[in-house]
Amino acid sequence: MRLSRLFTLLLLVTSLGACSKKTVSFNSRTDVPALALNDTLATSGDTTKAPSLDPKKVAALTKAQEKAAKDKERAELRKTKKKKNIFLGERIKKGFAKSGPKGKNQVLEIFYYLKTYKEPNAYSTTVYYFNPRKRKIFRAATELNPATDKVLHGPYKKFQGGKLIETGFFAVGTKHLRWEKTTKDNVLTSKIHYEMGFPRDANVTYYDTDHKLVKEVVPYVNGKLEGEYARYQENGQRDWSGEFENGKKVGEWIKYWGFRNRRHYVYQYGESGYDPEVAEPTLVKEYNRNGVLVYEKDKLDKRDAITDRPGRKK
């Protein structure tokens, strides 16, 4: 009897000892819930967009997530493609102007201008601006009006009858970078590279050793006189301006009074540098010191009323 009780007691002790030293394999499943431990190397932000590790859930969510991701990507792409109109650091606005009769000869110009007025460089040989009321591009003959004149700045294209005939860029009213002219048959007729209004190969001379007071700008392209010419007085005001083509003076050449860049005399040379050169230009316009037109060839002549005209006998 004693032996049977002792044997029963030994079995009970043995079973209790085995339960106190239970070993759990990593591959085993236990009914005891595991303690949740916080990973200090990860945050909710790191795992918010992490894919699920459940293959069934991945398969179920992939199509929806993929569609949402693509839609988001397209939206982001549209945002990046929607570029702000900025050229050389300046905000610009698009414009266009039409001229001539409708059809094959109608001219369309597409261009940009500064949203906020900026004064062109005083030494710019020619300044271009857009007048919204007249819907036309002009070459500045006098000082610009900040309230009405829109300074051209940005890409420029000119079409005739739907055919591209001229391309280039403006920078604060002056021609900049490469300008090309072509015929309606896409034959290149002219290509000039400008740097803020000056032909890249222009010969520039100065009044001072610091190269701040420009005296004369003589345009050269491939070693030949080509482009806009300008001469300035020592006070920075214009003295002469004109244009060379194929080594010859063409178009209007202007002599200025010497203050406020006001015109004095306007002379006319030939229309093309490929025609015989005009030895003696024709005086076509004359202005008094107040900027009033007093003479226009075959139309107007009020020069007798001028008392400050050079060479006039008093």
Express each pLDDT in 237-251 by its tens digit. Answer: 999 999 999 999 999
314 pLDDT exceeds 90?
no
Q: 89 and 136: one domain?
A: yes
Contact in structure between 232 and 240 (CB atoms under 8 Å): no
**Average pLDDT, whole number, for the chain?**
79
Better-scored residue on pLDDT, 196 or 58: 196
Last residue of some domain: 199, 222, 247?
199
Q: What is the mean pLDDT of residues 49-61?
A: 41
Q: Which pLDDT band, with edges at 50, 70 and 90, does 306 fall under?
A: low
Burial 94-119 (b: 16+ CB within 10 A, else e): ebebeeeeeeeeeebbebbbbeeeee
Is residue 43 one of the residues assigned to a domain? no
Q: 208 and 186: one domain?
A: no
pLDDT of 192 reads: 86
DSSP helix/strand/coil, 225: strand
Q: 114 and 133: one domain?
A: yes
Q: 178 and 194: one domain?
A: yes
Position 52, amino acid: S
Q: 90 and 173: one domain?
A: yes
154-160 sheet: strands from edge to edge: 86-87, 90-99, 107-114, 154-160, 163-171, 174-182, 188-195, 198-199
What pTM was computed for the model? 0.60
Range of the domain at 205: 201-314
pLDDT of 5 reads: 57
pLDDT of 260 reads: 84
Q: What is the mean pLDDT of residues 20-26?
A: 37
How many domains does the chain divide into?
Answer: 2
pLDDT of 102 reads: 82
Residue written as token pair 């036309």: 136
57 pLDDT exceeds 50?
no
Position 145, amino acid: N
pLDDT of 304 reads: 84
Q: 280 and 205: one domain?
A: yes
Q: 93 and 162: one domain?
A: yes
Q: 294 and 267: one domain?
A: yes
Better-scored residue on pLDDT, 24 or 103: 103
Last residue of some domain: 165, 183, 199?
199
pLDDT in tens, 165-196: 999 999 999 999 999 999 988 899 888 888 88
Is residue 295 one of the residues assigned to a domain? yes
Better-scored residue on pLDDT, 123 or 96: 96
Is residue 180 one of the residues assigned to a domain? yes
Share of the chain above pLDDT 90, in %: 49
Last residue of some domain: 160, 182, 199?
199
Q: 93 and 185: one domain?
A: yes
Contact in structure between 249 and 243 (CB atoms under 8 Å): yes
Q: 214 and 261: one domain?
A: yes
DSSP helix/strand/coil, 28: coil
Q: Which pLDDT band, with edges at 50, 70 and 90, does 58 fall under?
A: very low
Is residue 154 one of the residues assigned to a domain? yes
